[in-house]
């Protein structure tokens, strides 16, 4: 009985130490999201949908919808078709939708894209450094970038399906001259 009690105390202590470690890590690695009107943090990442890399600065002059997602993210699966539909609708106006696959396996990301019929450009942020520069706390998150490379509209935390008005407003802000 004494051994069982001691084992329970050790397990509880280890759990508390683990939670404390996670809290310290979160506090030391937490970054602030860039403010609306600020320049969007630039990056160059390997493409998932095709060979090569994509540099955000190459999209300067075009409105961009930047969506952070992952194949393991259940809400991301729910918003994939809406984002694809919006991409097909707005690409004629020069809007670029750019998916950023977050902390994922390349093969799983490709399977996700094929399964959900996603055709807009997608890059991979395996390390999460780009997501950190945007202050992403969880996927999905969506940002809007205007032609000048500045963040506009409110960034959307969570699925765009549940925030259609914010999505439409952000898209219009990105399209504004």
Tens-place pLDDT, residues 86-116: 999 999 999 999 999 999 999 999 999 999 9
Q: What is the pTM of this model?
A: 0.81
> How does DSSP classify residue 42?
P
CA dihedral of residues 157, 161, 165, 166 (deg, nearest 10): 20
Question: How many beta carbons lie within 10 A of that of residue 169, not counting itself?
Answer: 16
d(CA 23, CA 20): 5
Q: Kindly state the percentage of the chain with pLDDT values over 70.
A: 86
Q: Is the pLDDT of residue 135 over 80?
A: yes
Largest pairwise CA distance in the chain: 74
d(CA 151, CA 143): 7
Supply the pLDDT for residue 25: 47
């Amino acid at each position: 009985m004494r051994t069982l009690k001691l084992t329970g105390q050790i397990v509880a202590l280890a759990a508390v130490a683990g939670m404390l470690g996670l809290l310290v890590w979160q506090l030391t690695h937490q970054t602030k999201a860039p403010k609306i009107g600020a320049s969007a943090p630039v990056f160059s990442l390997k493409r998932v949908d095709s060979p090569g890399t994509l540099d955000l600065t190459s999209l300067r002059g075009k409105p961009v919808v930047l969506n952070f997602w992952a194949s393991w993210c259940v809400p991301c699966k729910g918003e994939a078709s809406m984002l694809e539909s919006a991409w097909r609708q707005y690409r004629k106006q020069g809007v670029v939708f750019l998916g950023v696959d977050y902390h994922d396996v390349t093969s799983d990301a490709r399977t996700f894209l094929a399964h959900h019929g996603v055709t807009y450009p997608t890059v991979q942020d395996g390390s999460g450094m780009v997501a950190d520069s945007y202050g992403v706390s969880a996927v999905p998150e969506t940002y809007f970038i205007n032609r000048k490379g500045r963040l506009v509209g409110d960034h959307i935390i969570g699925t765009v399906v549940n925030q259609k008005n914010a999505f439409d407003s952000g898209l219009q802000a990105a399209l504004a001259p």
